[in-house]
Amino acid sequence: MSVTEMFSYIQGFLSADQDIREDIRKVVQVLEQTAREILTLLQSVHQPTGFKDIPSKCLKARELFCTVRNHTGELKTKFPAEQYYRYHEHWRFVLQRLAFLAAFVVYLETESLVTREEVAKILAIEVDREKGFHLDVEDYLAGVLILASELSRLAVNSVTAGDYGRPLRISNFINELDSGFRLLNLKNDPLRKRYDGLKYDVKKIEEVVYDLSIRGLAKELETVGE
Amino acid sequence: MSVTEMFSYIQGFLSADQDIREDIRKVVQVLEQTAREILTLLQSVHQPTGFKDIPSKCLKARELFCTVRNHTGELKTKFPAEQYYRYHEHWRFVLQRLAFLAAFVVYLETESLVTREEVAKILAIEVDREKGFHLDVEDYLAGVLILASELSRLAVNSVTAGDYGRPLRISNFINELDSGFRLLNLKNDPLRKRYDGLKYDVKKIEEVVYDLSIRGLAKELETVGE
Amino acid sequence: MSVTEMFSYIQGFLSADQDIREDIRKVVQVLEQTAREILTLLQSVHQPTGFKDIPSKCLKARELFCTVRNHTGELKTKFPAEQYYRYHEHWRFVLQRLAFLAAFVVYLETESLVTREEVAKILAIEVDREKGFHLDVEDYLAGVLILASELSRLAVNSVTAGDYGRPLRISNFINELDSGFRLLNLKNDPLRKRYDGLKYDVKKIEEVVYDLSIRGLAKELETVGE
Amino acid sequence: MSVTEMFSYIQGFLSADQDIREDIRKVVQVLEQTAREILTLLQSVHQPTGFKDIPSKCLKARELFCTVRNHTGELKTKFPAEQYYRYHEHWRFVLQRLAFLAAFVVYLETESLVTREEVAKILAIEVDREKGFHLDVEDYLAGVLILASELSRLAVNSVTAGDYGRPLRISNFINELDSGFRLLNLKNDPLRKRYDGLKYDVKKIEEVVYDLSIRGLAKELETVGE
Amino acid sequence: MSVTEMFSYIQGFLSADQDIREDIRKVVQVLEQTAREILTLLQSVHQPTGFKDIPSKCLKARELFCTVRNHTGELKTKFPAEQYYRYHEHWRFVLQRLAFLAAFVVYLETESLVTREEVAKILAIEVDREKGFHLDVEDYLAGVLILASELSRLAVNSVTAGDYGRPLRISNFINELDSGFRLLNLKNDPLRKRYDGLKYDVKKIEEVVYDLSIRGLAKELETVGE
Amino acid sequence: MSVTEMFSYIQGFLSADQDIREDIRKVVQVLEQTAREILTLLQSVHQPTGFKDIPSKCLKARELFCTVRNHTGELKTKFPAEQYYRYHEHWRFVLQRLAFLAAFVVYLETESLVTREEVAKILAIEVDREKGFHLDVEDYLAGVLILASELSRLAVNSVTAGDYGRPLRISNFINELDSGFRLLNLKNDPLRKRYDGLKYDVKKIEEVVYDLSIRGLAKELETVGE
Amino acid sequence: VGQKPEDCMNQDSAVIAAFKVFQQELDTKHDKYERLVKSSRDITIESKRTIFLLHRVTSVPDVEEILTEADVKLDSVRQKIGQIAEELRGEDLHQFHRAITPGIQEYVEAVSFHHFIRHRTLISLEEINARLVFMRENKAVDEVTCPGPCVLTFQITPTDYLLGVADLTGELMRMCISSVGNGDMDTPFLLGGFLREIHDGFSFIGNTGPYEVSKKLHTLRQSLGKVEDACYTLRVRGSEIPKHMLADVFSSRAAHLDPDDAMP
Amino acid sequence: VGQKPEDCMNQDSAVIAAFKVFQQELDTKHDKYERLVKSSRDITIESKRTIFLLHRVTSVPDVEEILTEADVKLDSVRQKIGQIAEELRGEDLHQFHRAITPGIQEYVEAVSFHHFIRHRTLISLEEINARLVFMRENKAVDEVTCPGPCVLTFQITPTDYLLGVADLTGELMRMCISSVGNGDMDTPFLLGGFLREIHDGFSFIGNTGPYEVSKKLHTLRQSLGKVEDACYTLRVRGSEIPKHMLADVFSSRAAHLDPDDAMP
Ligand SMILES: [Mn+2]
Ligand SMILES: [Mn+2]
């Protein structure tokens, strides 16, 4: 093979790679659009009036996740399955947002932590790398950390809306989460930074609970806490 | 045409361009000076005593905008209209500040969001690019985002000044703004960065409302929230 | 108009802009591809065997410029003519490369400096900004400076290929160019930096002429110099 | 004069200059040492126990300023007076620190803004450039801006130490400072950057006042604010 | 004096400074223009035909230096004499170029090194800082180093032009210069960097002399070398 | 030990360290001065007249090395012997220059490569780290590489001076050196860069030998080369 | 000219012989450097994991258990430092300092964090170095110089100590925020005071230290700010406790609050 | 609020159980990454030493001997790449790519240099990858999936290949200058042509490749310039040979100069 042929060959490879990236980018843009719609929908729970119809919002969000599944389905077809990490950067961000949104819906529905398996199912992707397009554990964790910060905001706003029980339940939930994260040895990467933020979420919620407690608004506390 | 002649001819071009830039810079400096005066005027609303005479401050600001209109009028004459984007960088910064100031005055007067048309009118420039020196949509949005951060500060200071109703109204206003921005698909540019700051303003204001609410200082809330 | 309506309307603006940029990027990519093909073609004159068939290479390059003209023709249709400078950054780089390639072809054909008019014609674009998609004077100059550095390389390689006359002609050409540039009052910008490189090209070619001259290989020199 | 003689003569110049710089560096080092001692002394006001004996700390700082005056006195003798700006970079940094420290002492003593004249007096240098080693206006301003950020920290820590009145006074002081700075037309230089930080200090202090005010801990506020 | 008054007063200082800088910039621009004209004039000695009428070129350059003297005269009036180093950066670059041009003219006229006194006289400025606007010794040296690199180019081109004696004389001149510089103890500054370039000029000229010598074209050498 | 005591202790260490560095810097400056004198002395061999009295120049250089030995003797006393590499950067540069100068003297005297042991002896320092202030092997090698580049210059200038035998001897010497260096595995560090320069020195000398050879000026070559 | 290849064949020339020695010397040094880099990376990772482990103390009841576990981990780090000491036996530490400094700084960070949690004081450089003394089986080769079991020490430099302590402040800040989140009312104030002492120490040193120290000052100042803010918040909200609830709150959640330290 | 410590003790909660799994997963990945970084460093060093060895060909008579020695060294590098392949068995190469890319690029540089010296052509990516096939003793564990001796391959990515080749040009330039210094008259022209081909190849790819490639283009262009200058000098001085000496010179030092290639 001559030098020219060699470079043509490589150039062919590079073009193919760029085409793949272009295709991925397009699907990811659509995914981001849908993610933004789900977010707007769920954000309304922070409004004083928003607390009333959480179940109906969750239902609507669940519907939008159907669309998400269509897109993730399309995304998988855009590149060879075993090269997931080659293109990871393209969808990492949106996948974290979607993991968060799935976790948020599940929390609003059941006040429990979504598992990695559940998120994968909601997004119609895999848990194990070997089985295909999957949810990286760090992306799942990042999504969970976004949830924590959303819940600290929810704790504040639920007090404004007159719901004094929710902060206490959020507090318990987030404390368990915090215990979980303490088990991890993180590198100095974006996930670590996000995890540092969790401490502030825990702190904020603790302050809300404190405010309720000194005003005698948290009578449930003792019972729940035990 | 000899090489020398051609280069002499080209030098003519370059000089003309440099002269235009020099002229623009001078007008922009004067605009910045006036913008700073309006800012100083409006900033005083953050003072405890400042809440009393907001209307008179707005009137004075409106007068200073007359001067602004003179300067923008002059600015337009400094370069061929169709080369707006060639020199955009020179006035982009001050135009965003002026858009903010216009938005601030309008908010203080009517507690509503200034439209792009209104800003353009206050600055005596156009909305449509085709019609002449105009307000770029990104610059308008940048101005609105500066307003959001000013309002989060105002919410804090109005509590200090004993005005407990204003934070709630600001909260509603900023939530609407936030929903609006969520409709936009922003690129990864300075505007996007500024927009990322909006969520901190939203959160700050929510916390002010929370503080009022848990202390029973926000009786209006129930009514407003419905 | 409600805030939501206004933001929807604004999103229309932003999408339109993003679509335009996407369209431009695609055409520019194709232009870059063609430019690279012309470059590969013309670069072969540096090969020892390349000096023989310069004319046929120029012919082939001229043909490729037809394709370029198709692309520039398409490019013009992608955005409103008066917003040239809004999107300038997208095509600035490739336009400078194309100006260089046009200048290189013309030099190889006639050993003279291409004028801005000629470059514009080869690329099927305008010289005057007012008339449509044009060749900015700075971009033309950048292209000419790339030519200078290519010619200093050519002077060296033509000696290697046994052509002792060419360096002398290149030397005269580049000296004229240097005088031309010295008429310009350049700002402290990328063009100025590039121009600072010109003196190294001048020196390099002078040393080639010196090497030939001291070995008596530059008999033409005396005649030319007079 | 032969070339050698001339260069020997020039070497005399260069040596003299290098000696001056060496001398200046030594005095500046000592000045920095003393400045650090004053800083360590004054920083202890942030300790919960530190608020008690501010007066005695100010006294001690005043004593250390005697040492400073000795050093500045020495510094002046190290170079010809009219070459102040030739060597400015050497002491610029420490002079800004000292201006800050002087401003801090004066603030702690009288809660008022030190004037440039006072700083000059404390450092035993001049205000007017014509009269000798002086305090450049930009260096004075830099020192004042460092004070602002120190005071925002002090506001926080005085609350921790149980002093609820101080933040309100600091707030008024810093607002006045902010208005003052808004009168200035700063270039895009380090001072401008520092000034951009002032608005964060203002905001921080406003939030402290807010926290006190909403909890009814700021009774003085009403009186002061009128 | 209130804070506001003080800051107004300070703004006066800042404006005055900015005005001075603006004035200086304008004069310096004109100086640069004239310097470029002198350079174009003197550059032509590198042309094969340029060696003939060096004297007439020097005369013309001397005339242009009259214009330079007018500008330097104007420059001096733009700022207080004792603040030379405050604004030094503005004219440092052009002054070095002018020192080089003066040194080049003098070399072409007499083949000797211009002294600092002569340069100062040609530019109608002072040698001693105490006497007014002066030529800093570092700027003089920078100009001399630019000359060295110009002469290495001249050595090359004089051979091309058939003048075999000049390189030998340049070689002696530059060796003397090199010895001179070796007497200096330079700091690690831009001047030191430029000086490091001198050894390349020395080497280049030695190689020219070598080329002449090995070809028996340097008969004068023996006599000169003794 | 309290925190304050701990920091005082560390500060004590840092001050001591700085004092040591200051002391070292002073001695190194004097060493550099002497090195420059030796260089000026030896540089004169490049002059056409310089070839005559090489022995006397070597003698003078040897005398100056006495002074060097005094300084190195002083240098050793300035820091604890086992902390050589802690302060290495301070004298690394001058030690390489001195190694070069020693190598140059020895070459001029005997046309052989100075050994590391000899250099150490000339500078009155050690070869083995364990024995005290020593000559790092990389510094020795750097010095040898400076010699190579000096010799390539000498080859050129000896032809100019009419000495046609020396280039051939230099060629043999440098080729052996080159073979030696090829045995080393260098890191991507300054030494590697310098070593890359050796190839150009070898090339330059080869060109001189070639020039002599094609002109029949290198009759000795055959004999010497065998 | 054509003979060069032959010249170079002169493999037994003095020059070639000398360069063979240099080759070996340089390769040996380079290999050693590389081994040290690897050890340093191992030390960094293990120290970081120890720090993560130590952060768990704010959320578990048995602090002692974690401290012991961390000490075991640190022991294994010390073993690795022992390997470095072995590698550097008879060498000039500073020649290889760049290879090991990241790991050593991280160890300082971990060990000083451990020490703070146990003793609430700043570990001194001496205390750290005192634990870096290693007993080694003697190799037959240097039996002469060192009879019996050989003692090997590793001396951390003051600068590495300083840089490790600078990083420690980040961990202390994290611990402080966690404490607030866990309803611990006195640790934040304690940490605030300690961090302020370290901050004042660094500003006392100022720019006389090495450049790397100055670079970390900004982060240090930010950490201090976060801790001071946390203390401020605790104090402000503590001011609001309604009189009738005071007893309750104190008994239920701030029982161990030290009035001397916490109340101004 | 005070109960939190107890909550956290709920060590057998589902959440805690899940996080224990995550902990193990993350630590395993991190450890693997670290082992790969170490392998990559080893590969880099050994490849660099091979390159140094190969440069000796311009000054010794027996090129073959050096080539063989270099091949032995490269074999040991390949063994190390085999270890990496083992480590990555069943993994996604790109997940750990950043850990190994420096070493792999250096190997490409070394192996393509070796190939050029022997064959005077550019080694293809296929040829490189063809030598990265390893036989492995089977572990009992995956006997099912891979019966008999298991074949393990490592696929260098086109980008790493490209980056290695870009670095190769620097070595070719060094070789060219050395050749001139050693009086070799045809290698420089050969190298000039080869380097020009590679240069044209890279400019054909232009900015469509990854950013790291574009970054190396400047150096590549400089190397080409140096080689072209060297060829130019050889040609210019060759033009000066006095007629009467021509025969001598040709016989003594340029005997193997190929007139077709060298004369225009
Ligand atoms: Mn850390
Ligand atoms: Mn390499």
Model confidence at H2, pLDDT cuts 50, 70, 90, reads: very low
Contact call for C and H: 3+ CB–CB distances under 8 Å = yes
Burial call H163-177: b when 16+ CB within 10 Å, e when fewer: bbbbbbbbbbbbbbb
Q: How many CB pairs under 8 A join A and B?
A: 37
How many D/G residue pairs have CB atoms within 8 Å? 50
Distance from residue F134's CA to the centre of ligand 2 (Å): 31
C182 touches chain E (CB under 8 A): yes
Mean of pLDDT values over H114-118: 97
Comparing B56 with D82, the larger pLDDT belongs to: B56
Q: Is C118 annotated as a binding residue?
A: no
DSSP string, G47-70: HHHHHHHHHGGGG-S-HHHHHHHH
pLDDT band at H83 (very low <50, low <70, confident <90, very high): very high
AA letter at B193? K
How far, CA to CA in Å, does B179 sit from each of A36, A37, A149, B141, F165? 11, 11, 19, 14, 88
Look at residue H253 in the predicted model and tell me its pLDDT. Answer: 44
Of H10, H92, H125, the CB nearest to A84: H92
- End-to-end Cα distance, chain D: 78
Identify the band that residue A33 occupies on the pLDDT scale cut at 50, 70 and 90: very high
State how far residue D1 is from chain G, nearest Cα, in angstroms: 46
Residue A122 has pLDDT above 60, yes or no: yes
pLDDT of residue C48: 85
pLDDT class of H146 with cuts at 50, 70, 90: low
* Chain F to chain H Cβ contacts (< 8 Å): 47
Interchain proximity G52–A199, CB inside 8 Å = no
- pLDDT level of residue G260 (50, 70, 90 thresholds): very low
User: Buried b vs exposed e over G169-200: b needs ≥16 C-beta within 10 Å?
Assistant: bbbbbbbbbbbbbbbbbbbbbbbbbbbbbbbb
Q: Is B115 near chain C, with CB under 8 Å?
A: yes
Domains assigned to chain H:
12-156 (1.20.58.190), 158-264 (1.20.58.200)
Q: Is A92 on the interface with H (CB under 8 A)?
A: no
* Residue H171 to residue C114: CA distance in whole angstroms: 38
The sign of the torsion formed by the CA atoms of F27, F29, F33, F35 equals positive
Label residue B48 by pLDDT band (50, 70, 90).
confident
Query: Which chains neighbour D (Cβ–Cβ under 8 Å, 3 or more pairs)?
Result: B, E, G
Q: What is the pLDDT of residue H241?
A: 75
The answer to whether the beta carbons of residues H187 and H179 sit under 8 Å apart is yes
pLDDT grade for G7, boundaries at 50, 70 and 90? very low
Mean pLDDT score of chain D: 93
Beta bridge partners of G151: G135
Highest mean pLDDT among C205-219, D176-190, H97-111, H241-255: H97-111
Checking if the pLDDT of G74 tops 80, the result is yes
Interface with C, mutate which of E156, E211, E212 (most C CBs under 10 A)? E156
* Residues on chain G touching H5 (C-beta within 8 angstroms): 59-61, 182
Q: For C163-186, what is the mean pLDDT?
A: 94
Question: What pLDDT band is residue B18 in, cutting at 50, 70 and 90?
Answer: very high
Report chain F residues whose CB lies below 8 A from the CB of G200. 4
Q: What is the pLDDT of residues D75-86, one digit of tens each?
A: 999 999 889 999
Measured in Å, residue G171 CA sits from the centre of ligand 1 at 6
The mean per-residue pLDDT over the stretch B20-46 comes to 95
CA H264 distance to own-chain centroid? 34
In 3D, which of E56, E63, E55, E74 has the Cα closest to residue E37? E63
Closest approach of H193 to chain C, Cα-based (Å): 7
E203–F160 C-beta distance less than 8 A? no
Chain segment A38-57, per-residue pLDDT in tens: 999 999 999 888 777 899 99
Binned at pLDDT 50, 70 and 90, residue B21 comes out as: very high
Query: What is the model's pLDDT at position E145?
Result: 98
Contacts of B164 (CB under 8 A, 6+ apart): B158, B212, B217, B218, B220
Strand partners, H135: H151
- At A223, the pLDDT band (50, 70, 90 cuts) reads very low
Grade residue G83 by pLDDT with cuts at 50, 70 and 90.
very high
What's the pLDDT at G147? 56
pLDDT class for C221, splitting at 50, 70, 90?
A: very low
Which whole number is the average pLDDT over C25-53? 92
Residue tagged 């004319």 (tokens): C55
**Looking at the complex, does the CB of residue E46 fall below 8 Å from at least one CB of chain C?**
yes
Residue G150 zone, left/alpha/beta (φ > 0; ψ -120 to 50; rest) = beta
Of all ligands present, the nearest one to the C-alpha of G223 is 1
Residue G197: phi and psi, rounded to 5, are: -60, -45
- Tell whether E214 is within 8 A of chain C (Cβ): no
Query: Could you tell me which chains touch chain B, where touching means 3 or more CB pairs under 8 A?
Result: A, C, D
Counting CB pairs under 8 A, whether chains D and B reach 3 or more, is yes
Q: Average pLDDT in the G89-114 region?
A: 97
Is the confidence metric ipTM above 0.90 for this complex?
yes
Say what the pLDDT of residue B49 is. 81
Span of C102-116, E26-40, G250-264 with lowest mean pLDDT: G250-264
Chain G residues touching F84 at Cβ < 8 A: 92, 94-95
**If you average pLDDT over residues G173-187, what whole number do you get?**
94
Contacting subunits of F (3+ beta carbon pairs below 8 A): E, G, H
Are H225 and C36 a contacting pair at CB < 8 A? no
- pLDDT at F224 (0 to 100): 43
Average pLDDT score over residue span A188-201:
95
Q: Determine the pLDDT at residue C89.
A: 95
Tokens (6 digits) for F32: 């550099």
Nearest to G212 by CA among G171, G167, G155: G167
Q: How far is CA C1 from CA A207, B116, B117, C7, G61, in A?
A: 41, 11, 11, 10, 59
Determine the pLDDT at residue D49.
84
Higher pLDDT, G254 or D5: D5
Q: Which of G186, G163, G179 is nearest to G44 (CA)?
A: G163
Nearest CB to C14 within list B8, B82, B184:
B184
Note whether A touches B: 3 CB pairs or more under 8 A: yes
H3–chain A Cβ distance below 8 A for any pair: yes
Q: What is the mean pLDDT of residues F161-190?
A: 94
Q: From the CA of G83, how far away is ligand 1's center (Å)?
A: 24
**F186 CA: distance to closest CA in chain G (Å):** 8
Dist CA G257 CA A53 (whole Å): 43
User: F184 — contact with chain H (CB < 8 Å)?
Assistant: yes
- Angstroms from G122 CA to nearest CA on chain F: 6
Residue E14 · residue D186 · CB < 8 Å: yes
pLDDT at B120 over 50: yes
Which two three-digit tokens encode residue A78? 């855009």
Round to whole Å and give the CA distance between E45 and F136: 50
Contact at 8 Å (CB) between E154 and C206?
A: no
Contact H2 G59 (CB under 8 A): no
Give the number of other Cβ atoms within 10 Å of residue A169's Cβ: 15
Q: Which two tokens stand for residue A185?
A: 């040895």
State the pLDDT confidence band at G87, using cuts at 50, 70 and 90: very high
Contact G25 F137 (CB under 8 A): yes
CA distances from residue D108 to B121, B124, D46, D53, D166 in whole angstroms, order as listed = 49, 49, 12, 11, 11
pLDDT of H7 over the 90 cut: no
Residue G59 banded pLDDT, cuts 50, 70, 90: confident
Query: For residue range A145-175, what is the model confidence (pLDDT) as tens digits?
Result: 999 999 999 999 999 999 999 999 999 999 9
Contacts of A86 (CB under 8 A, 6+ apart): A79, H92, H94, H97
Paired strand residues for H136: H150
- In which residue ranges of chain E is pLDDT below 50? 221-226
Q: How confident is the model at residue C188 (pLDDT cuts 50, 70, 90)?
A: confident
The closest ligand to the CA of G51 turns out to be 1
Please provide the average confidence, as pLDDT, over all residues in chain C.
93
Which ligand neighbours the alpha carbon of F186 most closely? 2
d(CA C48, CA G158): 63
Nearest to B182 among A36, A46, A212 (CB): A36
* Ligand nearest to the CA of residue G110, numbered in listed order: 1
Q: What is the pLDDT of residue G148?
A: 59
Question: From the CA of G173, which ligand is nearest?
Answer: 1
G244 to chain H nearest CA, in Å?
A: 19
Residues G157-171 have a mean pLDDT of 97
Q: What is the whole-number distance in angstroms between the Cα of residue B52 and the centre of ligand 2?
A: 73
- A52 touching B, CB under 8 A? no
Q: Which domains does chain B have, with CATH numbers?
A: 1-135 (1.20.58.190), 138-226 (1.20.58.200)
Nearest CA in chain B to D185: B33
Q: Is B153 on the interface with D (CB under 8 A)?
A: yes
Q: Does G153 touch chain F (CB under 8 A)?
A: no
E203 contacts F159? CB cut-off 8 A: no
pLDDT of residue G256: 38
Tens digit of pLDDT for each residue in F13-66?
999 999 999 999 999 999 999 999 999 999 999 988 877 789 999 999 999 999
